[in-house]
A and B are shown apart, each in its own frame.
Chain A
Amino acid sequence: MMIVINVCSDSLGYLEFVKPVEDILKKAKVRFVTRCFANLQKKDIDMADKFIICGTALKDFAYLDNLDKFRWIVKVSTPILGICAGMQIIGKLFGGILLEEERIGTYSVNTVQRTFLSKKDTFYSFFLSSKALEPNNEFETLGESADLKCIIKHKHRRLYGCLFHPEVLNPEMITDFSLLNNAW
């Protein structure tokens, strides 16, 4: 069972950033439950076979004020995909640095290394972010947009992050993540 994690501090944010991901999973007939990050229980973490951490509104930084609630990420071996705020959370927990860098709209992404998140050499994605992540050396960069590291993966674990919102222009990335096996 996949767990979709809602990091939005506002109910309207859920409709914009979480429900679209849920709709993609429903269409792909993926079994999932959604949990608010603040209410995630140990039993949820233990039973999950994958996690998606969704993004949130540009002015919403509740997730950064509550990083302690995400410490479990460092301990589990379950595949996790962090979208925008989700990528920032993953990177920050491993010692990465957040930089002020606004990117709003559709931008081209160049693949550095192929994975389910970067199957084409170049593609377009929708960004809605005011921060960039400089991950530490435990992560490798799989995709860049200009100089911005926008797809990352932990070198030894199945922790993925994308700074853009795949639910907008690249929904197949979400279904591919749901089908992820040990091959990647």
Chain B
Amino acid sequence: MRVGVLFSGGKDSCLALHKSMSFHDVVCLITLLSENNESYMFHVPNIEITEKQAEAIGLPLVQKRTSGEKETELKDLKEAIRTAKASFGLEGVVTGAVRSVYQSTRVQKICRQLDLWCFNPLWLKDEIELLNEIVDYRYEVVIGGVFAFPLTKEFLGKKLDGEMIQKLKRLKDEYGLNPAGEGGEIETTVLDAPFFRRKVEIMDYDISYREYSGVFKIREVRLIEK
């Protein structure tokens, strides 16, 4: 089946893409560039580097800008998927939704309206199992945003590894934090994964942080051979 993957450049959409590649012909990535930092639907920090990530992976990217207003972003998403369907002959769409019934419901409805299959291969996956899978596959992932207590500035830009998983697990036990950031507490950016043909290298960045909310903003990247 020819499928397109909703792609934010974060760990969940990359893992969903990875799983899809084993069973289907992934023909494009689809990204919504939201201007709304509070978007319920779309990952925001470092979304601009999806273009470079798609290039590193070797897949075409369908991008659409959205103001990120609640209903407008759904119309824009539908439009982006419609464009991808027309351009690449999509038969299905894959998402990295894990727990969000809100996101999942809306994408399922859009796919039904456009007569497309909809797959959510990470659906209800245990958060620690998900993080371990990413580390086991040797993804290179950095934390691009933190948006919840008790996440400090020190998390920003840090790599996701076994030690970080243990740290997040402790925060889950002590504060009830979702270790995979499914409620938007943590956002991530993937720099390398087994299906990347080239690796993304960060050339320039800056960090902003205030009261348990901060962003590791990637300003410039380049692709390097693996």
Q: What chain A residues lie within 8 Å of B120 (beta carbons)?
A: 16
CB distance A15 to B117 under 8 Å?
Answer: no
B86-124 Cβ-contact flags toward A at 8 Å (1 or 0)? 000000001000000100010011011000111111111
Q: What chain A residues lie within 8 Å of B108 (beta carbons)?
A: 58, 104, 128
Indicate which residue in A11, A57, A105, A128 contacts B23 across the interface (CB closer than 8 Å).
A11
B38 in the interface (beta carbon within 8 A): no
* Known A-B contacts A104-B112, A167-B124; A12 and B101 likewise in contact (beta carbons under 8 Å): no
Q: What chain A residues lie within 8 Å of B117 (beta carbons)?
A: 10, 57-60
A13 in the interface (beta carbon within 8 A): yes
CB distance A58 to B20 under 8 Å?
Answer: no
In the complex, how many residue pairs between chain A and chain B have their CB atoms under 8 Å apart? 59
B24 in the interface (beta carbon within 8 A): yes
CB distance A23 to B119 under 8 Å?
Answer: no
CA distance A104 to B105 in the complex (A): 6
CA distance A57 to B107 in the complex (A): 13
A102 in the interface (beta carbon within 8 A): yes
Residue of A nearest to B97 (CB): A16
Indicate which residue in A23, A58, A167, A169 contacts B118 across the interface (CB closer than 8 Å).
A58
A60 to chain B, nearest CB (A): 8
A96 in the interface (beta carbon within 8 A): no
Pairs A–B under 8 Å by Cβ, sample size 15: A10-B23, A11-B23, A15-B19, A15-B123, A16-B119, A16-B121, A20-B123, A23-B124, A23-B125, A23-B126, A58-B118, A59-B117, A60-B117, A106-B105, A130-B112
Interface residues of B (CB under 8 A from A): 1, 19-20, 22-24, 94, 101, 105, 108-109, 111-112, 116-126
Interface residues of A (CB under 8 A from B): 10-13, 15-16, 19-20, 23, 57-60, 102, 104-106, 126, 128, 130, 167-169
- Excluding A12-B121, A105-B101, A168-B124, 15 further A-B contacts by CB distance (< 8 Å) are A10-B1, A10-B117, A12-B94, A12-B119, A15-B122, A15-B123, A16-B119, A19-B124, A20-B125, A59-B116, A59-B117, A106-B105, A130-B112, A167-B124, A168-B101
